[in-house]
Amino acid sequence: MNYFKKILLFAKPYTKYAWLNIIFNILYAIFNVLSVLAFIPVLGILFGSEEKVTQKPVLTDTKGIYDYVQSSLSYYVTSMMESGGVEKALLFICIISFLLFFLKNLFRYLALFVLAFLRNGVVKDLRDSLYHKVLELPISFFSEKKKGDTIARMTSDVQEVETSFLNSLEAIVREPLTIIFTLISMFAISAKLTLFAFILLPVSGIIISSVSKKLKAKSLLAQQETGNFLSFIEETLGGLKVIKSFTAEDKMESKFEVSTSRFERLMNSVLHRKNLASPMSEFLGSATIILILWFGGRLVLSGEDNMKPQEFLGFIGLFYLILNPIKAISKAIFSVQKGNASAERIMAILETENTITDKPNAIDKDTFEKDIELKNISFKYKDDYVLKDFSLTVPKGKTVALVGQSGSGKSTLANLIPRFYDVNKGKILIDNINIKDIKKESLRDLMGLVTQESILFHDTVRNNITLGVENATDDDVIAAAKIANAHEFIIELPHGYDSNIGDSGGTLSGGQRQRLSIARAVLKNPPIMILDEATSALDTESEQLVQKALEKMMENRTSIVIAHRLSTIQKADIIVVLQKGEIVEQGTHEDLLTNKEFYHKFVNMQSLS
């Protein structure tokens, strides 16, 4: 129930609809009860046991509302019988009932009508805030979480919350009102019988709630499993080529089936319990009614409690009326418990604190004047330090190349400067200002990043290039594409710059994709460029094209280049050789060659290959 409340906070902007819903439900509940009560006099007429009321009744006190309504009805029925006979009275009651049923259902619809705005509004807002959070959370959050799991939370968990919580919302408002109005009428008919009936109900309630206990745990497991197999599908789609070339289809299939079978078993158990709700409450309800027939029948026969037979029938009608809401509420409790698990998973994302935030007095920094300085920084992802007491200065306008074995911490360094992660010790300064004192957005605006895998979106070429830039003109886009050596191939695409490039640029070659990423960085035109093995995924030919594009881009810019090709590295102003997160050598190409140490070895290796 805890998370139900938190989800309800999302309904705040829609309180107007909640109030309308309550008003319509009150009207519904009143007409619901009246539609049953209207039958009592007609039954009396048919049984011939109705006392004639010839005096127009007056309402004396509020407690006598039931008697007043009943005797007013009887009065009209009596006067009608006197003028037009029993049949006219019957017709009158039927028309009244017709109207009552019509109004009851009209208000029921109106209540649902306004609730729809609240439901769909809450679902939209939930999805939007999840997406907002996903964009906001630091990258570290997602390296620990599986993508599919996050997708499951944003889709099927939100769906689950909609069906379970928001469906229950309807029951939770409407049914108690019906119960209250029905109870009042039942008390008016016979207090004794009502008390007897309601001693029986809690007994049923306890039995029902015991079944629902385990439901929550099971549905949580089921949702987790959904996340698992969504992750798995994601990976499969991404790695289809590898799966097929290694003929690992069977292996993948059996892995997938393990997950779906587990899901099947869990859902069986969840459904069994859920399905039990209705039959069980129906049975318990009927058993209660049979007991009431026995007890009430004896009251009528003995003339105790002043209950007429038609009133007893009316009472049974009311009791049926009250059973549905009780059933609906017990179903809602099941649902809420089932939805709670999903709500918990949604709130887990929404309540994750962003660890990389702007300080309240963070400043805007629009220009880059002097240098980037890494001062004694240490950084670890988990337990072991990946960078240890690392210091480096990148002066404005220079190109710094980072060289080192894979795993030596080069990409990590590239992640720290745009603050995708925060350093554990030491500080990173840009023009002597700690990057933690600069607004994230303005810090990242100073930088362009091109990584090994070019990240493109299912959109047009143009929109992929203009991702980081507001209102770029066509000329700007073309100029950027030309610098990136991409213009040529773009105009040969079927729709030129308006061609859709498919999921992750699926229709383009690796070199073309990379040149689009470079065009994107060129258009953004940041003073600082960070290139993380931008050419390493390419074949030699497209590498040369990309390489030229990169060189054009790096002109007059400050660049941090991570590369393993000698051709890229040797032109750098400063070459930094990394080993296990520490600098082991630093200098120009010539300096380091004369040193005959790590870099020398590296160069020899390259020449060999």
Ligand X SMILES: Nc1ncnc2c1ncn2[C@@H]1O[C@H](COP(=O)(O)OP(=O)(O)O)[C@@H](O)[C@H]1O
Residue 412 makes contact with ligand X by CB under 6 A? yes
Closest approach of ligand X to the CB of residue 415, in Å: 7
Contact window for Mg ion (CB under 5 A) among 52-60, 349-357, 409-417, 567-575: 409-417
By a kind-dependent CB cut-off of 5 to 8 A, residue 432 interacts, out of ligand X, Mg ion, none, with: none
With CB under 5 A as the rule, give the number of residues binding Mg ion.
Answer: 1
Give the nearest distance from C-beta 146 to ligand X in angstroms: 13
Instruction: From 81-89, 293-301, 405-413, 578-586, give the range in contact with Mg ion by CB under 5 A.
Output: 405-413
| Span of 292-300, 324-332, 404-412, 535-543 interacting with Mg ion by CB under 5 A | 404-412
Nearer to ligand X among residue 70 and residue 408 (C-beta): 408
Q: Find the part of the chain contacting Mg ion (CB under 5 A) among 33-41, 312-320, 403-411, 592-600.
A: 403-411
Phi, psi angle pair for 533, to nearest 5°? 50, 50
Placement of tokens 């309308």 in the chain: 20
194 binds, among Mg ion, ligand X, none (CB under 5 to 8 A by kind): none
**What are the CA-CA distances from residue 579 to residues 27, 409, 533 (Å)?**
76, 8, 17
Backbone phi and psi for residue 254, each to the nearest 5 degrees, phi listed first? -70, -30
Buried b (16+ CB within 10 A) or exposed e, 380-393: beeeebbbbebebe
Determine the Cα–Cα distance for residues 308 and 196; give it in Å rounded to an integer: 18
Partner from Mg ion, ligand X, none binding residue 408, C-beta < 5-8 Å depending on class: ligand X
In whole angstroms, the minimum distance from the beta carbon of 532 to Mg ion comes to 6
Sheet with 399-404, strands from edge to edge, namely 447-450, 528-532, 558-562, 399-404, 574-579, 582-587
Q: Which is nearer to Mg ion, 372 or 530 (CB)?
A: 530
Q: Which does 339 bind (CB under 5 to 8 A by kind): Mg ion, ligand X, none?
A: none
Minimum CB distance to ligand X smaller for 241 or for 382: 382
Q: Are 236 and 358 in contact (CB under 8 A)?
A: no
- For 543, phi then psi, to 5°, come to -60, -40
Residue 397 near which of ligand X, Mg ion, none (CB within 5-8 Å, type-dependent): none
Q: What would the two tokens of residue 530 be?
A: 């960070």
Q: Which residues pair with 447 in a beta bridge?
A: 528
Least Å from the CB of residue 411 to ligand X: 3
Identify which of residues 380 and 552 has a Cβ nearer to ligand X in the complex.
380
List own/partner pairs for 159-163 with CB under 8 A and 24 or more apart: 160/219, 160/223, 160/338, 160/339, 160/341, 160/342, 161/7, 161/123, 161/126, 161/339, 161/342, 161/343, 161/346, 162/119, 162/122, 162/123, 163/335, 163/339
List the single partner that 382 binds among Mg ion, ligand X, none, CB under 5 to 8 Å by kind: ligand X
Q: Which residue among 410, 436, 487, 515 contacts ligand X (CB under 6 A)?
A: 410
Do strands 433-434 and 385-395 pair parallel, antiparallel, or not at all (unpaired)? Answer: unpaired
CB of 521 to ligand X, least distance (A): 19
Q: Which residues pair with 586 in a beta bridge?
A: 576
435-438 contacts, C-beta under 8 A, 24 or more apart: 436/359, 436/362, 437/359, 437/361, 437/362, 437/363, 438/362, 438/363, 438/364, 438/365
| CB nearer ligand X, residue 139 or residue 271 | 139
Count of residues touching ligand X (by CB under 6 A): 12
In the bound state with ligand X, the residue whose beta carbon lies nearer, of 63 and 382, is 382
Question: What does each C-alpha distance from 381 to 17, 169, 413, 421, 423 come to in angstroms?
Answer: 47, 44, 12, 9, 10
Nearer to ligand X, 74 or 408 (CB): 408
Closest CB to ligand X among residues 79, 579 = 579
Phi, psi of 430 (to 5 degrees): -120, 120
Q: How far is CA 403 from the centre of its chain?
A: 42
* Residue 2's binding partner out of Mg ion, ligand X, none, with CB under 5 to 8 Å set by partner kind: none
How many CB atoms are located within 10 Å of the residue 555 CB? 9
Residue 330 or 411: the one with the smaller Cβ distance to Mg ion is 411
- At its nearest, how many Å lie between ligand X and the CB of residue 453? 13
d(CA 97, CA 53): 20
By CB under 6 A, what part of segment 343-402 binds ligand X? Answer: 381-382, 386
Of the residues 71, 190, 219, 408, which one makes contact with ligand X according to CB under 6 A: 408
Backbone angles phi, psi at 431, to 5 degrees: 50, 45
Which of 406, 540, 607, 609 binds ligand X (CB under 6 A)? It is: 406
Do 66 and 307 touch, CB atoms closer than 8 A? no
Q: Contact with ligand X (CB under 6 A): which of 296, 317, 325, 409?
A: 409
In the bound state with ligand X, the residue whose beta carbon lies nearer, of 397 and 407, is 407
Asked if 411 is part of the footprint of ligand X (rule: CB under 6 A), the reply reads yes
Q: Encode 99-136: b = buried (16+ Cβ within 10 Å), e = exposed.
A: ebeebbeebbebbbebbeebbeebbeebeeebeebeee
**x/- map, 133-162, ligand X, by CB under 6 A:** ----------x-------------------
Q: Which is nearer to Mg ion, 158 or 413 (CB)?
A: 413
> Which of 227, 409 has the CB closer to Mg ion?
409
Give the count of beta carbons closer than 10 Å to the beta carbon of residue 265.
14
Tokens of 478: 């073309």
CB of residue 405 to ligand X, shortest distance in Å: 7
Q: Does position 411 bind Mg ion by CB under 5 A?
A: yes
Among positions 423-482, residues that touch ligand X (CB under 6 A) are none
Residue ranges in contact with Mg ion by CB under 5 A: 411
Residues that bind ligand X (CB under 6 A): 143, 381-382, 386, 404, 406-412
